[in-house]
Amino acid sequence: MEFELKGALKKYRQMRWWRRFWISTAIPISFAIPWFLNFGKTDTLICVAMGVVVWGVGETELRLKTIQVRLAGMNDQLNQLRGDHDAASDVILELNDW
């Protein structure tokens, strides 16, 4: 099970890095598009606002996923204290849920 957990953690970190990378590019892209296409002030404001919304939703999603993984870890610890030893760990299931 330890090998499965290490693999799931590696996959989780990679997916988290890629999501953070694409989310963090939303704001520079929202500035670049109106600049290259010569949009007006209102259109530029709309693009920047949408970039900020995409960034905010992405960050919220990453925070919620972190909370979900931590709660799964707490559930695994409670199951071990009660003596319930399942073959599938909740943490592994949550880490692989991308």
Whether residue 70 has pLDDT greater than 60: yes
The residue among 20, 31, 2 whose CA lies nearest residue 65 is 20
Asked if 72 and 86 count as a contact pair (C-beta separation under 8 A), the reply is no
Q: What's the pLDDT score for residue 83?
A: 82
Q: What's the pLDDT score for residue 49?
A: 92
Q: Looking at the whole model, is its pTM more than 0.95?
A: no
Return the SS3 of 85: coil
Domain boundaries, the chain: 2-95
- Give the pLDDT confidence of 16-36 residue by residue, as tens digits: 999 999 988 888 888 888 888
C-alpha distances out from residue 84 to 77, 80, 93, Å = 10, 6, 17
